[in-house]
Amino acid sequence: MKGYIQVYTGDGKGKTTAAFGLALRAVGAGKKVFIAQFIKGKPYSEIDAVNKYIPKITVKQYGLDCFIYTQPTAADITVARTGLAEVAEIVAAEKYDVVVLDEICIALYYNIFSVPEVVKILATKPEQTEIIVTGRYAPNEIIAVADLVTEMREVKHYYTKGVEARKGIEF
């Protein structure tokens, strides 16, 4: 079966959730999944669930304890660049049917690596591998090589009323 490149972007909630949902569906169909989480380093509930109950999904985080809100540190850059190199090897090895590059667009937004570096990985995608790219600010070059692009648009969000992220819902 031919694999495609999907992008989930936009300022609305649900990009990572959609990627994890697709990963769950893929495993249900007998596929092996690798999820690379860039920027994120905290123990999110979806990772706990995968590690406890879904051994055919491998998740590896390439971020530190906190999400980047200002400028990335040297340590942020090192961890993310290590992840990009590992992802390139993973895609080339054809070990996984689905590869999720969660928040890679945010890493690009912060110039942790270049758009051509990511486009090169996408261009070397094996025919049968599905790659999911997530994160706000998807660059036009990524959108151009994608086969499917979904933009999550925030219409209304309770955080504007002071609701903090809730375990099991937002993290």
Q: Are strands 148-151 and 98-102 parallel, antiparallel or unpaired?
A: unpaired
Residue 18 lies in a domain: yes
| Tokens linked to 35 | 């999820």
Residue 138 lies in a domain: yes
CA distances from 76 to 133, 143, 166 (A): 19, 25, 25
Q: How many domains does the chain have?
A: 1
CA distance 66 to 86: 21
Task: Provide the CATH number for the domain around residue 135.
Answer: 3.40.50.300
Residue 168 lies in a domain: no
Neighbours of 24 (CB within 10 A): 15
pLDDT at 116: 98
pLDDT at 111: 95
Residue 33 lies in a domain: yes
CB-side exposure of 100: number of CA atoms within 13 Å? 27
**Do 55 and 24 meet the contact criterion of CB atoms below 8 Å apart?**
no
pLDDT at 41: 86
Residue 162 lies in a domain: no
User: For the chain, which ranges sit under pLDDT 50?
Assistant: none
Residue 164 lies in a domain: no
pLDDT at 68: 66
For residue 13, what are the domain limits?
Answer: 5-146
CA distance 24 to 118: 24
Residue 151 lies in a domain: no
pLDDT at 171: 83
**Do 40 and 102 meet the contact criterion of CB atoms below 8 Å apart?**
yes
Distance of CA 93 to the CA centre of its chain: 19
pLDDT at 70: 78
Residue 169 lies in a domain: no
